[in-house]
Amino acid sequence: MAVRVLPAGTIGIPLNPTTAPEPPPLEVEDDVPTLHLVGRSEQRLAEALFQTESVDEPYSPDTVRALRLLAMDNLVDIIQLREAVQERDAQLAALTSEVDMWRSRAIDEHAQRGVDQREAVWRERELVTVLHSELIRNETLSNELDWRRKPWFRRIGGH
């Protein structure tokens, strides 16, 4: 297939494009499977082929058949890609919901750890307070016992 050449000095799309002649209607053979796509895909294909061919005959039935087969292959590829995208979207949705579940669980566990830590600090302070009070009580009783053991305490009236 040849590419249409723009006149020398033209950069990009020409400002005054020349109108292309209308391509002839497509000939459909009964023994060749034909794919009719939504829209004017075949017409656009024929127009593009008519404008880009540089041979005497604007397009041959073999070229049209090859392009139709290519169009069918492209359609199959598009369908497969859409299915792959749908599967990927489904996986993404499943993974997103799983991440949300794990995030929620992590937040709950973090909050529970905070509660447990505050409770542990409170219990530790309570134990330290009880231990301190018992140490003071033991010291007081020990001092009292030491006073009672002294000989001068017995003389004053102790036992």
Closest CA to 35 of 62, 69, 82: 69
pLDDT in the model for residue 84:
95
pLDDT band at 146 (very low <50, low <70, confident <90, very high): confident
Instruction: Report how far residue 20's alpha carbon sits from residue 14's, in angstroms, rounded to the nearest whole number.
Output: 14
How many beta carbons lie within 10 A of that of residue 59, not counting itself? Answer: 21
Q: What is the mean pLDDT of residues 103-121?
A: 96
What percentage of the chain reaches a pLDDT higher than 70? Answer: 57
Q: What is the mean pLDDT of residues 104-121?
A: 96
Q: How far is CA 22 from CA 50, 90, 137, in A?
A: 9, 46, 112
pLDDT in the model for residue 124:
95
Could you give the angle at which helices 41-52 and 61-149 cross, rounded to 10 degrees? 120
The mean pLDDT value of the chain amounts to: 76
pLDDT at 15 over 70: no
pLDDT in the model for residue 90:
96
Q: How far is Cα of residue 13 from the mean position of the Cα atoms in its chain?
A: 39
pLDDT band at 149 (very low <50, low <70, confident <90, very high): confident
